[in-house]
Amino acid sequence: MIDFVEFEVKKKSNTPSNDSEADVEIGFAPALDELREILEHLDRDDVDLDDLSALVRRAAELVKSCRHKLVKTEAQVQEIIGDLAADLEALEAPDKEG
């Protein structure tokens, strides 16, 4: 389980000054793991009110980061599929002419 002190240390060590850079630096799996830890911590109902805002803010950053990575990966996969389809069409084109 996550201890808020550990969360603060992890956040400070992983978060550069620019939030958009933070989204790029953390991988998808580590972001999901941290998000799960935060959610487990919130589910225990023993969250200090002063810590709640920081936890929810970090969770929102992680969700945004994961969503960004999913969209980016989907676009890359679609591009690869499009390239493969174009290659296949190019290979089949001479057969249709001949």
pLDDT in tens, 27-47: 999 999 999 999 999 998 888
d(CA 40, CA 53): 15
Q: Is 0.75 topped by the overall pTM?
A: no
Rounded to whole angstroms, the Cα distance separating 81 from 56 reads 37
- Distance, in Å, from the CA atom of 66 to the CA atom of 16, rounded to the nearest integer, reads 17
**74 vs 23, more confident:** 74
Q: Is the pLDDT of residue 17 over 50?
A: no
Number of structural domains in the chain = 1
Q: Where are the extended beta strands (E) located within 1-98?
A: none
Most confident stretch, 9-13, 72-76, 90-94: 72-76
Coil, helix or strand at residue 60: helix
Boundaries of domain holding 64: 4-97
